[in-house]
Structure 1
Amino acid sequence: MGERITSPCVGLCSTTLGDRVCRGCQRIDSEIRDWPGLSGAQRGARMTELDRLRAEVAGRFLVVTDPESLEAQLRRHRIRFRDEQPPLSRAVELLRVGRGRIRDLACYGLAGRDGEDAATLHARISADLLLAAERRQTRLHDSST
């Protein structure tokens, strides 16, 4: 039986616009291109690395106060997530999808460190995620040469 190919893709690939790093999933263009050819273990390692990156960046701005509420809201709004995905990484996806509709972060099991609203948090996290992903891309490129 074939192995299921899990992907961090969120359907917003900015590499088609010329970015070397995707603003949606934070993978570099070569990772996106090579993804189907990676083994399950390689994909799992990359997913873990990307989750760690998102959690690290989101943790600067956001606190998960109730992981169960966060998961319930993700399910309610049909936002995909993985069982092994850390709550802060899940929160990044929630903010990406719901930033314009979320009025009370506490209902989602979240709190902004500076009392910011969902849209502001999303913008700050996205900007820092892009910078962190670009640094990651440079490290990956440097280690392969």
Structure 2
Amino acid sequence: MRKPAVKTPCIGVCSTGIGDAVCRGCKRFSHEVIHWNSYSDEQKRAIDGRLSCFLSQCVRNALTVIDKPLLAWQLQVQQLRYNPEHDEYCWVFSLLKAGAGQIDRPADFGFEVHASHARLGLPQLRDLIDREFYILSEAHYERYMRTPDLFGSITS
């Protein structure tokens, strides 16, 4: 059975054009943004897998999914775009991106906020998660993508 084509993670907020090595919108590396259309499905899946793992990790630091079927149902009822191949923590982020300010009771959507983050409103929590996702992607880029040039300085 053939897997569906990998959709671009682009959200239309690209910062690589202004010199960022990691896009502040989709969190891909600049070379991945540039070469996306020339990548094979396998290469795209590898990038998508890295991004979804990083996002899931950041979301798990702040909240817990307590009812995955309820969350999936809410996403469908709200007609929100999400990737069913990603885990439920990525789904929660899709929900928060679309309407964090409209959710009064997270449990009605299948998740709960950790006590350590309870003082934050959901819009602030969404922004915190997004910032951590960017920092994690940037750290990965710095560690594994940047290489020293012949003169010992770091280049992209």
Compute the TM-score of the two structures, normalised by the length of structure 2: 0.80
Deviations 1:5-34 (Å, cap 9, x if unpaired)? Answer: 522223332334543322222111211111
Shift of 1:137: 1.6
Q: Is the 8 A contact 1:95 1:118 kept in 2?
A: yes
Compute the TM-score of the two structures, normalised by the length of structure 1: 0.86
- AA of the residue aligned to 1:62: L
Shift of 1:130: 1.4
Q: Is the 8 A contact 1:103 1:117 kept in 2?
A: no
Aligned sequence identity (%): 27
Structure 2 unmatched ranges of 5 or more: 150-156
Q: Is the 8 A contact 2:6 2:45 kept in 1?
A: no
Shift of 1:143: 6.7
Q: Secondary structure of 1:111's match?
A: strand
Deviations 1:96-128 (Å, cap 9, x if unpaired)? Answer: 221222221111111110224311211221121
2 CA distance for matches of 1:120 and 1:138? 27
Deviations 1:10-62 (Å, cap 9, x if unpaired)? Answer: 33323345433222221112111111111111111111111100011111101
Q: 1:17 to 1:143 in 2, by over 3 A?
A: closer
Q: Is the 8 A contact 2:96 2:123 kept in 1?
A: yes
Q: Is the 8 A contact 1:112 1:121 kept in 2?
A: no
Q: Secondary structure of 2:64's match?
A: strand
CA RMSD of aligned residues (A): 2.2
Structure 1 unmatched ranges of 5 or more: none
Q: 1:132 to 1:78 in 2, by over 3 A?
A: same
Q: 2:136 aligns with which of 113, 132, 137?
A: 132
Q: 1:12 to 1:93 in 2, by over 3 A?
A: farther
Q: 1:79 to 1:9 in 2, by over 3 A?
A: farther
2 CA distance for matches of 1:55 and 1:43? 18
Q: Secondary structure of 2:104's match?
A: coil
Q: Secondary structure of 1:27's match?
A: coil
